[in-house]
Amino acid sequence: MVLGGTERGYFTAQSKDFENNLIVYLKGEIGCSPIASIFKDVGPYRLVDNGITENYYAWNKIGNLLFLELPTGGGFSQNATASNNDEAASQIFSALKLFLKNLYLISGDYSAEIVALMSRNVLDLIDQQKLWYQEFPLKGLIFNGVWNENYQFDSLTEFAYVKGYTPQKDYEGMNAACPSCAKVRSYDCPYHDPANQVCQQIAGKLNQKFFNPGLDKYNIYDDCYYVRTNGLVVYPENVNVFISSDQLNGLGCQIDEQIHAYLAKPIVTLALQINNSSQKFNVCQNNTSFLKDYNFKNNLPYILTHPVYVKNGIQTLILNGDTDFVYNHIGVERFVAEIANGNNINMTLDTELWWFNFDSSLYLPTVGGYVTQYNSLVYSTIKGAGHWIGLNRPMQSLQIVNNFMKGENYSIDLSKIDLKPALNQKESLKKNQKDEKKKDDRKRDSKEGEPVTRKDQDRIENLPGIKLSSHFSQFSGYLNGLGSHKMHYWFIEAMVNSSTAPLVLWLNGGPGDSSLYGMFYENGPFLLNGDGTLRENPFSWNQFVNILYLESPVGVGFSYTEDPTENVTWSDTNSMEENYSALLDFLNVFSEYKNQDLYLIGESHGGIFVSMLASKVINAVKSGEMSVNFKGFATANGVIDYRQNLNSMIHVLYYHGLMPNSVYMTLLDLCCPPDSNEFKCQFSDHVDFPTFPNPKYPNDTCFELLVENVWKYYENTPNNGYNIYQDCYRKSVNESTNMIPVENAENEFESYWCHMEQSLRSYLRRDDVRQALHIPSNVQVWQEKSIINDYQRQTFTTSPYFEIGIDAGIKMLIYNGDTDLHCNHLGSEWFASELAIGKGLQIKEERTEWYYQMDEFYLKRVAGYVTKYQGNGHDQGLDVVTIKGGGHLSGTDRPAQLFQLIYNFINGSDYSIPVHIDPPTNPTSPSKPSKSSSLKKFWFIFCVILLSYHWIIGE
């Protein structure tokens, strides 16, 4: 495949467990093609007489596998595009920036020099903050065939002697000609030393004997029985391999010729998207103009001790087949030891054997090779392998590389890797996974024979209750949280231009409330009917953004821990880390969204979640740990400061007529300084927030009266704390359950408040819904248990996190429905004012009305009030907005107004500008948008189409 002028062969991981890994194969000499190794080393194919067959031990069993052509000529490239290491390294780096996955680079032969130089340069760029680590997430370097001329030259004599290839007489004669070697160990004998030309020449002649046509220099134990026919050396078709010493049954004996022939077929070049059909593939071609520079000896220790390498836990593995003459393992081992010893890289494990096994429960182990470990550097041999470790010992090389990538003991067997042929994996999944029927159906979106990605597996195909097909894609599955935690997410793509629309992460609070509350109550594409069906939400935010709903922390909704014995610790800090981990995993699974604008929005305690997460993301982007276009965050009736919320709550209760004057005045007398403005009263000074809700002082009468009256007039009241003016008229269905009436549930918003919670619980606890959302059968019932009493509140003000946002120059929005008691707008306003004074923010716009307007034909209506602050040196700042008539769930109470507010926030527009959304032309399937002047016109057209449809089919 040709991308950006560079030839590549890309193979997706055959298991979703490894899809975040990208193994980049770059092994090759100058002028030689790594593409050839698709067939001769670790790739998924082997060439046979009648075409190709599968390599069951290909490395795309453990990751996505990319074969990248070197810019030094060879392959389909007629001309080299690089003339030296620097140019080659730069071009390879440019090609790899297209792939945002965990990168493992395998190189060898001369390409090890280029890759080492490129890695060194990349680490420097990251350290200089000219490149973010997430743009080039290097996880490991794998070298197979490391060259140092002196060590190879000096060691080969002993290597060949011990292996039985050099007679004793010749070896002793060489030492006699090298007097300096008589008093030192053989590994200290410098046969290469030009000061002793006689010694050097004798050693050179002995070494040269090993490179003759009758000996496979790349695997001294691999035999091929060629014949000469019509002047050509060929491998005969009917060799009796059972009585020969050809271990591979001729597999590698004509591999280069077979590759040439196969890749010359027009149907193959067409399939590989080779633009020039006259371009012939060459496994290797002569390139004498490339300026070689052997500097691996200096580049590798520079890499191993680089602060970016150390900080990010990058590892290096040097592999060597022990039957390779060209890069003999003795010379490589000595070379590695010199690098380690000369640069104070400590040995952590002296050489010991590692075991190979398919499955330890069924087979006895065999020796796979020998391994030596240093800090962040591992050297290992593979017993019986030659230069092409994937050709000679495919199982062993797969095992050691898999364990290296996972950071596990190298003797862990292959039992956890599916070694069955890829063509049969679909059938095996059906047999072994009882709950996977729906997932098999989703494979129709993938090309035949290709593995299904996590994204494809999470795609929602048939959501129960939908009366019409959705005109957008949606996904439900699990993201990796902390440790064994699996975080359930529901991702809704934008109806229009999802590939460019911003990405919003929505988090509800509680702590312990599912983010699916926000999806179904406020801003998602569906509203609930009382009969278990769904209807479309005309004010769904996915008309202009992609929305990720994450059920956090673990234990909430469908999120769970894989360790049933775990005693989970719930806290603000853990929630931040959990949300960050899940976000990173999401951007790995849905990597196409990494370059799109990212916003975080959190409701209630989610205000703490998103402000803390925002600071984490800002710092991660700054350090290079994460690469995203983070634009800003918003708190939605959020918990942002416990002190100011309490200080303002007494006033909100009183001035909304919910607290008697006598109680109010008594509180002022007991808690506030005399002759002071009551709104300066710090009720919060009487609370010890680190041990919330305990008193700060013993025997504090103010505290006791606060607790008594906050409980009486706030917590234990028939008023709806989420919206002071929202009432539901309930009726009992039976003696044990006070159910909610649903008679009017079909009307768009009438009585929605009153039945939405019961309807959502019923809906998400249905078996068919769980199956559609890919929820494992062992996962708890949705929202079965509350975690709020076990949750450790650690953050009582978000001011430090807003300050980080201000310094970073991102957009920030605090919005509150003005009928909310839980997180009242007055406390938010006080918090923002205090923050602005502390950070020296300027008032960009004094508090004023903002207006909602359905479209230009309607008069404007006051939607709320807005104050805008501007950060020093930044265009962006902090906006504080109220939503008139909105409660804690402003998207339920004032969906149209909030729709306009969020749209303009994200697009950087005045909040009073009416919103015009271009809807899809076909509401039943994804398509390009058509022009429309307003949402109202869209819904009118939609209804006409729907009525016409019913008329045509006779309903």
**CB-CB contact of 560 with 554 (8 Å):** yes
d(CA 434, CA 523): 34
d(CA 479, CA 489): 7
- The amino acid at residue 779 is V
Among 473, 520, 468, CA closest to 496 = 473
d(CA 33, CA 603): 55
SS3 per residue for 245-308: CCCCCCCCCCHHHHHHHHHCCHHHHHHCCCCCCCCCCECECCCCCCECCCCHHHHHHHHHCCHH
From 627, 888, 890, 918, active-site residue? 888
**C-alpha separations of 531 from 305, 742, 764 in Å:** 64, 8, 13
d(CA 175, CA 187): 13
d(CA 55, CA 65): 13
Residue 435 token pair: 């709950």
**C-alpha separations of 17 from 216, 405, 406 in Å:** 38, 13, 11
d(CA 398, CA 570): 39
Residue 181 burial by Cβ neighbours in a 10 Å radius (0-12, 13-18, 19+): buried
**CB-CB contact of 119 with 105 (8 Å):** yes
According to DSSP, the β-strands at 546-550 and 485-492 are antiparallel
From 37, 111, 604, 611, active-site residue? 604
SS3 per residue for 608-629: HHHHHHHHHHHHHHHHCCCCCE
Of the chain, the end-to-end C-alpha distance in Å amounts to 51
888 catalytically annotated: yes
From 513, 820, 893, 918, active-site residue? 820
d(CA 1, CA 3): 7
600: β partners: 505, 633
Residue 687 token pair: 């609370």
d(CA 339, CA 749): 72
Question: The tokens 């019961």 sit on which residue?
Answer: 758
Residue 573 token pair: 């800090």
Strand runs labelled E in 485-626 = 485-492, 503-507, 526-528, 534-536, 546-550, 560-561, 570-571, 597-603
User: Largest Cα–Cα distance of the chain, in whole Å?
Assistant: 114
Residues 6+ apart with CB under 8 A from 883: 815, 816, 817, 818, 863, 864, 890, 893, 894, 897, 898, 901
**C-alpha separations of 744 from 321, 468, 529, 724 in Å:** 74, 21, 9, 22
As annotated, the active-site residues are: 604, 820, 888
